[in-house]
Structure 1
Amino acid sequence: MLCNKIENQKEVLDEETFTIPEYITNNLRYPLYDWQRVALENFLINERLRQKKISKGETLPPNHLMFNMATGSGKTLVMAALILYYYKQGYRNFIFFVNQNAILGKTQANFIDSSHNKYLFAENIVIDGIHVNIREVELFSDSCNDIQIKFTTIQKLHNDIYKEGENALLLSDLQKRDVVLFGDEAHHLNASTSKKKSAANELTDDISFIGELKDSAKAEDIERSWEHTVRHCILEKDGKSTDLNKNVLLEFTATIPNTDEVKEKYEDKIISKFELKDFVEAGCTKHIRLVRSNLELRERILQALLLNWYRYAIATKYGISNFKPVILFRSKTIEESKADY
């Protein structure tokens, strides 16, 4: 695994070679936790190793990495740090995409709304003595020297390119630019791979190979779009670029599907691995205890209600204030949920 190879490099490298630069730490609103620092250090070491190979004349594919980090461990702060890094390297165009619209809204505020309580950057971003703004855009501009971020879903990104209508994101324009792509909740983008289906075998050279993606698109179609639109057409520029392709794809997920197909796919891409068990051991999240039962549905519901009431009684006995036990009953359909209720 790539992160293990990188960790071994730390033993022989001078610490100064992977120290996180001040233009990153000074422009973040929050200090970095140890595991966030490790993720960034691994990334910086990998960058230096790539640059050495390029300087020796090697032709490398576009940089494609995976950050496997537990939910709540601060993936978005790492993303903010990476945006600052790539801005310093000369990049201005960033695309942030997810699988669902619901995830998109809260992340947008983290990056662009300086009044939001979870805004990730310093109040004033200054790099090389220049004040840098962050702009949300639909189309990238050559005349803008700020950080330009397009927030979208995989469906919309594919459709924007597929339609190529007025104010749409033109593939021909994207392929002329150096772009950094952030794919959040990336395990959703490997749904069919985890089911042992090879999306790559179904690809064609035509961007309209599956037509417009609807909101109700199947996981297999979304992954085909992901493989073709994001990886082949944007990241790899259809393989048409004669110059060094400087595009970057950074994926983030808390859960990598535990299948041989996905493991093989990301063996050389996982730059950071900080899973839930690591998060718990670090003492920075709640310890989760699973209670399993072979009871029938009605009895399981009653069991959950009883355990919930017991917790409430304990909290009352020991004076634990503001204790609000919550139960989530999950069903596949609304009808099943109503029946459970």
Structure 2
Amino acid sequence: MVLAISKTINRPIFPFTAIVGQEEMKLALILNVIDPKIGGVMIMGDRGTGKSTTIRAIADLLPEIESVENDLFNSHPYNPDLMSDYVKETLENGQNLSVTKIKVPMIDLPLGATEDRVCGTIDIEKALTEGIKSFEPGLLAKANRGILYVDEVNLLDDHLVDILLDSAASGWNTVEREGISIRHPANFVLVGSGNPEEGELRPQLLDRFGMHAEIRTVKDPELRVKIVDERSQFDQNPENYLDQYSIDQLNLKNQIKNAQQNLKDIVLPYDLRIKISKVCSELDVDGLRGDIVTNRAAKAFAAYRNSSEVTVEDIRNIIVLCLRHRLRKDPLESVDSGSKVQQIFQEVFNENL
């Protein structure tokens, strides 16, 4: 007997608004999807704390995006910075493009992935014999305008991490083989996760993640029971469970969409920018990446609150996420990096605890 399947069956995804606790991780993800230029987020924490579940949930929550139909790179139909060269040439030649709406891509990068699998490959034989540039897209192409998730990124080869961070920062991926070069847009939110017991990322790589969220196993017995109950209800009847959270999901989706649209109009007063840079200076943060990311994150948080101007409270909410992983580690120091950032913030902004 042959079974004919007429349509794709989508596996239900646990709703983002139903996730209990782990506020740091949830906030970092929300701010990065509001402003992908923040530079991604590194999530470090214990095993079994819902890292993968939360990342898949935020991707499922996001509004659909317009894309050129059947395009390998999810090209934006109107923004040249998010188009493949082929789409640009098609438009320049006056040809029309079919536009469709797609879900925001959520791509998993497996730990054993090769450079060719990540970046894509050029068919050298076809190029030499037929004079045709034939390109097989990799994971970076599929992740364009979406989220690229690397679990256990601290176990990934440093060379691959470097490639991911370069592409995330520049928004482009370039593949060169035997004198043949192909480039395509690779504008994505890079999300890495890992367990600190399995080793930290090198400081040079860690610093290039926009934010760093730390998560811990929930200790409160009542909260643990609530988390287990919520998951059990979802597993037993996903459709009914998703219906319960449909209004919360829609409200958050609209809140993120509005924040994305309003982000460009958010004002960050000069005196607050001076104080942000003073905090970075007092903490002896190398370079200016910490200043830039904190400015961006503060604006994204203000947009998320539907405010037109950044406040001190906005900065307080995001500054640890932006700076804790940029501090020089002193093995003899007992104060953790998050507490140190908070302490300097209080001193510079003259805020009471």
TM-score tier, shorter chain, comes to 0.3 to 0.5
Could you state the TM-score of these two structures normalised by the residue count of structure 2? 0.35
Higher relative contact order (CA 8 A, sep 6+): 1
